[in-house]
């Protein structure tokens, strides 16, 4: 059935989205569409005085795309680009895993609920669209991680 | 009338399971399933007569050429066309592009001072007319042609009930070309194409119809439509993928500049220039899709045996049932005409509070294959202020039990998401 896709966490974020249409001092934004279904999302990015990221989004789409955007904003808001980078990388890796990866809850928190999505090729783009918009907005605002954790 | 249970035996895929439950296939508007007769025809060709057509003098080449041209005759007869007016294309999209590029290429050649048929020369001050319910395949090529030539794109809008709003003045003396869909793949609406083609001809314009959703589902005679061109695909009418049909009046096809050029489509070739074969070879550059043509011809025979009037009646009954059952569900709204008058079997709907992707996913988990999204009709979705729809499309192998399973799937989606999901906007 569909319980592996529609986890409670996902339905909760869908019905009660976090961080949607929050007013922020935006440095850049990225508008992404999923041309196969018409889902749209705009992610705005800004920076607090302490260097941490401010994220806001707006859009319309299916439960997976909207819940993923909500989870993304909750995870990334208040993180430095360096703290955000491994979370973003872990989410990308999870989406490519075809359901074969046990997600790390320490890193991904609520985003582990999307593990089941990776088993449905038609829905992976739904889960990824807000994260793609985030990465694009970061590049436009030059708010990508300056150091990598690769050698740690 | 044919027996659905009996003919389902011709479609092996219909007896498989998906997600652990029996498949209910309600996405024939996207592509139809294929009967073994069509698959066997293709296999028989490859096993017995496979060779390249229209070249070579050996026995297989002769047999292959003969089978290919007989297929063209069968397909032409299926829609009341003359055999020389049937061009094989990759798909319906290519057929529409072929006509759009005839305009584009003729216009380019006219700018070079070359002698071209003026009916295909277009520019600023001219207009092309489409409708708001076109598939992207019958919209984007005309947008592109307008962008290249400076012509203007106009369109007929859609009424609230999903009918064309055929306003006077959209087609006028500036109009050079009119292209409309016969049956909308999203709304199911069957349009009065004869009336629109007559309007086009009255101002000296040429006209085209997109038959993708009509030829598979109802009797169609291309001459009775009053059009100059028509395009449709093979794979939606029990045939293989990789083949579409462009029908055009022979007189026009033979003066149009070619689209794709190369081998097979020439008359004489010199290093400086070439001349081209008459239609249909003029538009069939390269080695064509022989097995697919043979498969599609077999599909035409299969449908002829059932009787296209019977096919239409069968689907009318199913459509009436689908509309009635959807009408009983609270929170479900059909996008398109609510009765079967001038309406085909594509039924789109939205469910309050649940995105079409989620509706489709829950239906899929019960084995029901439906299409979700904008169905390549993004402007039509925008017209009805919906991001997307869920769409049920039926064919000869569906019956009421398939619709019942679809309705059960919609109900389960409503239960799963809570009938009154209050999603904060």
Instruction: Identify the active-site residue in B146, B212, B300, B376.
Output: B376
**How far B363 CA lies from chain A's nearest CA (Å)?**
10
Question: In this structure, are B241 and B209 located in the same domain?
Answer: yes
Whether B314 is in a domain gets the answer yes
Question: In this structure, are B19 and B144 located in the same domain?
Answer: no
What is the rounded distance in angstroms from the CA atom of residue B347 to the CA atom of residue B338? 9
Question: In this structure, are B273 and B223 located in the same domain?
Answer: yes
Whether B36 is in a domain gets the answer no
Whether B362 is in a domain gets the answer yes
Identity of the residue in B355, B374, B424 whose CB atom sits nearest the CB atom of A16: B424
Question: In this structure, are B132 and B259 located in the same domain?
Answer: yes
Judged by CB atoms closer than 8 Å, whether chains meet at B417 and A126 is answered as no
Question: In this structure, are B21 and B154 located in the same domain?
Answer: no
Question: In this structure, are B381 and B333 located in the same domain?
Answer: yes
Question: In this structure, are B288 and B406 located in the same domain?
Answer: no
Helix (H, G, I), strand (E, B) or coil at A3: coil
Nearest Cα to B89, choosing from B235, B305, B224, B242? B242
**How far A144 CA lies from chain B's nearest CA (Å)?**
30
What mean pLDDT comes out for the span B6-34?
97
Judged by CB atoms closer than 8 Å, whether chains meet at B358 and A62 is answered as yes
Residue A151 has a pLDDT of 43
Burial of B58 (0-12, 13-18, 19+ CB in 10 A): exposed
What is the rounded distance in angstroms from the CA atom of residue B114 to the CA atom of residue B111? 7
Among B289, B304, B319, the domain-final residue is B304
**How far B345 CA lies from chain A's nearest CA (Å)?**
21
Among B277, B304, B331, the domain-final residue is B304
Q: Which residue of A has its CA nearest to B376?
A: A36
Question: In this structure, are B248 and B110 located in the same domain?
Answer: yes
> The domain that contains B316 carries what CATH number?
3.90.1150.10
Question: In this structure, are B311 and B295 located in the same domain?
Answer: no
Tell me, yes or no, if the pTM score tops 0.90.
yes
Question: In this structure, are B246 and B332 located in the same domain?
Answer: no
B377 catalytic residue (yes or no): no
What is the rounded distance in angstroms from the CA atom of residue A129 to the CA atom of residue A58? 12
When the pLDDT of each residue in chain B is averaged and rounded to a whole number, the result is 96
Residue B425 has a pLDDT of 39
Question: In this structure, are B316 and B294 located in the same domain?
Answer: no
Judged by CB atoms closer than 8 Å, whether chains meet at A37 and B378 is answered as no
Residue with tokens 């990866």: A101
Residue A37 has a pLDDT of 76
Angle of helix B290-306 versus helix B59-78 axis, rounded to 10: 40
Residue B267 has a pLDDT of 94
Q: How confident is the model at residue A2 (pLDDT cuts 50, 70, 90)?
A: low
Chain B residues with a Cβ under 8 Å from any Cβ in chain A? 355-358, 361-362, 365, 372-374, 378, 381, 387-388, 416-417, 421-424
Identity of the residue in B362, B373, B417 whose CB atom sits nearest the CB atom of A37: B373
Question: In this structure, are B228 and B368 located in the same domain?
Answer: no
Among B281, B304, B327, the domain-final residue is B304
Q: Which residue of A has its CA nearest to B373?
A: A37
Residue B420 has a pLDDT of 45
What is the rounded distance in angstroms from the CA atom of residue B351 to the CA atom of residue B410? 8
Whether B175 is in a domain gets the answer yes
Number of structural domains in chain B: 2
What mean pLDDT comes out for the span A114-124?
91
Q: How confident is the model at residue A152 (pLDDT cuts 50, 70, 90)?
A: very low
Structural domain boundaries enclosing B186:
41-304
Whether B339 is in a domain gets the answer yes
């Amino acid at each position: 059935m569909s319980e592996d896709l529609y986890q409670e966490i996902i339905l909760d974020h869908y019905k009660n989205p976090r961080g949607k249409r929050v007013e922020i001092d935006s440095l850049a934004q990225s508008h992404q569409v999923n041309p196969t279904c018409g889902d749209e999302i705009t992610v705005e990015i800004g920076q607090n005085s302490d260097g941490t990221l401010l994220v806001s989004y707006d859009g319309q789409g299916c439960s997976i795309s909207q819940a993923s955007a909500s989870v993304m904003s909750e995870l990334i808001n208040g993180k430095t680009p360096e703290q955000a980078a491994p979370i973003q990388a872990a989410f990308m890796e999870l989406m490519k895993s075809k359901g074969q990866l046990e997600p790390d809850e320490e890193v991904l928190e609520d985003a582990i609920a999307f593990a089941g999505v990776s088993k449905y090729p038609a829905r992976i783009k739904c889960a990824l669209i807000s994260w793609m918009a985030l990465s694009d907005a970061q590049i436009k605002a030059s708010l990508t991680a300056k150091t990598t954790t690769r050698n740690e | 009338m044919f027996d659905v249970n009996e003919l389902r035996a011709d479609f092996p895929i219909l007896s498989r399971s998906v997600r652990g439950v029996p498949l209910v296939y309600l996405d024939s508007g996207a592509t139809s399933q294929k009967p073994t007769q069509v698959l066997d025809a293709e296999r028989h060709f490859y096993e017995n007569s496979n060779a390249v057509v229209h070249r070579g003098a050996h026995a297989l080449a002769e047999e292959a050429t003969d089978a290919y041209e007989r297929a063209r005759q069968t397909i032409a007869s299926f829609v009341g066309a003359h055999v020389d007016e049937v061009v094989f294309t990759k798909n319906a999209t290519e057929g529409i592009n072929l006509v759009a590029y005839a305009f584009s290429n003729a216009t380019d050649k006219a700018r070079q001072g070359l002698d071209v048929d003026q009916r295909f020369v277009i520019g600023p001050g001219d207009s092309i007319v489409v409708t708001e319910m076109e598939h992207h395949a019958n919209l984007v090529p005309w947008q592109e042609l307008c962008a290249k030539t400076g012509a203007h794109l106009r369109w007929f809008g859609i009424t609230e009930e999903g009918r064309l709003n055929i306003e006077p003045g959209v087609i006028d003396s500036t109009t050079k070309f009119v292209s409309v869909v016969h049956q909308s793949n999203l709304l199911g609406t069957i349009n009065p194409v004869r009336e629109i083609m007559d309007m086009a001809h009255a101002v000296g314009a040429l006209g085209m119809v997109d038959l993708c959703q009509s030829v598979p589902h109802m009797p169609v005679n291309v001459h009775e439509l009053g059009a100059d061109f028509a395009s449709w695909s093979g794979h939606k009418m029990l045939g293989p993928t990789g083949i579409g049909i462009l029908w055009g009046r022979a007189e026009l096809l033979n003066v149009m500049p070619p689209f794709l050029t190369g081998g097979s489509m020439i008359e004489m070739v010199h290093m400086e220039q070439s001349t081209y074969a008459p239609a249909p070879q003029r538009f069939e550059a390269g080695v064509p899709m022989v097995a697919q043509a043979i498969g599609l011809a077999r599909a035409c025979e299969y449908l002829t045996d059932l009787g296209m009037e019977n096919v239409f009646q069968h689907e009318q009954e199913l459509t009436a049932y689908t509309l009635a059952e959807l009408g009983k569900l609270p929170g479900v709204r059909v996008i398109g005409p609510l009765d079967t008058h001038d309406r085909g079997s594509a039924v789109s709907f939205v469910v309050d509070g649940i995105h079409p992707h989620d509706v489709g996913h829950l239906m899929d988990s019960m084995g029901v294959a439906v299409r979700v999204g904008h169905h390549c009709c993004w402007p039509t979705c925008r017209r009805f202020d919906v991001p997307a729809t869920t769409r049920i499309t039926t064919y000869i192998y569906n019956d009421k039990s398939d619709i019942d399973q679809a309705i059960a799937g919609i109900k389960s989606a409503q239960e799963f998401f809570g009938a009154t999901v209050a999603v904060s906007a």
